[in-house]
Amino acid sequence: MTTNRADWLRLFVRRLLLAAALGLCALRADAAAPVVVIPLSGAIGPASADFVVRSLARAADERAQLVVLRIDTPGGLDLSMRSIIQAMLASPVPVAAFIAPSGARAASAGTYIVYASHIAAMAPGTNLGAATPIQLGMGGGDRPASDASSSAESRKAMQDAAAYIRGLAQLRGRNEQWAERAVREAVALSANEALAQKVIDLTATDIPDLLAKVDGRHVRTAHGERVLATRTAPVVAVEPDWRSRFLAAITNPSVALILMMIGMYGLFFEFANPGFVLPGVAGAICLLVGLFALQLLPISYVGLGLILLGTGCLVAEMFLPTFGALGIGGIVAFAIGALMLIDTDVPGFGIPIGVVLALAAITALFVFAVSGVALKARRRPVVSGAEAMLGSIGVMLDDGGASGWARVHGERWRVQATGARSLPGAGARVRIVARDGLTLTVEPLEDQRQQAA
């Protein structure tokens, strides 16, 4: 009995030591887990949303213990903002939104992202707020809605935005009243004011200061509670890869518009001159990339329709003798459509007037240059076909008579004289004045010279 009790005690001690060792290994593994820093700067759009979502998934795969989302944004598109927030809420890795460096801001969509984060922090000299929706609708376009009673659409957008940020505030235990004021009244706060009103959790001067202050903090994620050990954790900075940079480039509205124009003109050249291949291939690629970028952006289909109408009129001007009427109308339609194309007032997503005017001017010069060349070509004498024979000089091959043979352009032709005249003798030069099938009507070249004299 005593022996069994001693064996049981030794077994218990061994299991206890094994559990302690495993726990120590786990703590060391957690302590060694990296902290991933993801920059979110500039206007929030499809490219930045794709970058942040993929970076959060990568941080989870690498078993990071914390993601620091370093924010400096004037706002952005609603759909892009919501995709980032959904990825944050579902992430097994805690996310700390850090508005930095000094002078940065998290306005509009950036405020929602800060409220959705597990930890919210700001650097001195930064601000957040002004989250009034401009239009939280299809495509995320933003249109001024400061007067909530102006239309049913603006009221619905305001109510939806207020409920959305209020829900995020309740989820994270942050100031609900101020969050709703940021939406309805477009108010903003500095770092110290945000900390005093419990909008954020802490202030920090930089990333190392932030990691030191959140060390040991308990954070609850969608996959359970995590304890941070960030004071000495390695920091991994993630930078946008080629895919993110490519998306950022083509989703610039000005670039998308230029790509679409290059694509349409490339296809026009290919159809007008079959066999060139390069204009058709380059045009098709540019057009598809431009249309792909536009479907990611909040576009106005009326504006897109005007651009297509204007382009059609400009192409028609090259073939129809309208004396510039179609060309001028096409330029006006293109310019108006380009100004209307992007259905948003979010900073960074408009098309500058200078770009529109430059494209319209280049298109006008191109169209009228091509039209001028075509007009000159019409005035030139015909150099091929049946009409090219008229006025040509030939040499008689036999002696006179009502009809005979002559050599014209190195070929033998049956010829006949005009009226009741007879043909000149062999070797005489004649001019073709008419053609009937394979028979040419000619007159002696000497007669014309005498008439001219």
Q: Tell me, letter by letter, the H, E, C secondary structure of 158-185.
A: HHHHHHHHHHHHHHHCCCHHHHHHHHHC
Give the range with max mean pLDDT: 217-221, 375-379, 393-397: 217-221
pLDDT at 447: 54
Q: What is the DSSP string of 388-446?
A: GGTT-EEEESS--SSEEEEEETTEEEEEEESTT-----TT-EEEEEEEETTEEEEEEHH
E strand spans, 21-175: 35-41, 66-72, 95-99, 105-107, 119-122, 127-129
pLDDT at 1 over 60: no
This prediction has a pTM of 0.68
For residues 161 and 131, the answer to whether their CB atoms sit within 8 Å is yes
In the structure, what pLDDT confidence band is assigned to residue 24 with cuts at 50, 70 and 90? very low
Averaged confidence pLDDT in the chain: 81
Model confidence at 25: pLDDT above 50: no
Give pLDDT, residue 389: 75
pLDDT at position 410 is 80
φ and ψ at residue 238, rounded to 5 degrees: -105, 130
Among 23-32, 267-276, 341-350, the range with the most confident prediction by mean pLDDT is 267-276
pLDDT at res. 166: 94
SS3 category, 404: strand
**What domains are defined for the chain?**
26-243 (3.90.226.10), 251-379 (no CATH), 386-452 (2.40.50.140)
Residues contacting 159, CB < 8 A, separation 6+: none
- Residue 11 and residue 98: Cα distance in Å, rounded? 50
Selection from 9-18, 26-35, 308-317 with the highest mean pLDDT:
308-317
Give the phi and the psi of residue 122 in degrees, each rounded to 5.
-140, 145
pLDDT reported for residue 373? 66
Q: Which residue has the higher pLDDT, 366 or 108?
A: 108
Question: Mapping DSSP to helix (H, G, I), strand (E, B) and coil, where does residue 226 land?
Answer: strand
pLDDT, residue 138, reads 35
- Confidence bin at 145 (pLDDT 50/70/90): very low
Q: What is the mean pLDDT of residues 424-437?
A: 84
What's residue 229's pLDDT? 92
Among 233-242, 378-387, 416-425, the range scoring the smallest mean pLDDT is 378-387
Render pLDDT for 67-93 as a digit per residue (tens, 0 to 9).
Answer: 999 999 998 888 899 999 999 999 999
Confidence band, pLDDT 50/70/90 cuts, at residue 153: confident
Cα separation, 2 vs 21, in Å, equals 29
* Res 422 pLDDT > 60: yes
pLDDT for the residue numbered 206: 94
Q: Is the pLDDT of residue 276 over 50?
A: yes
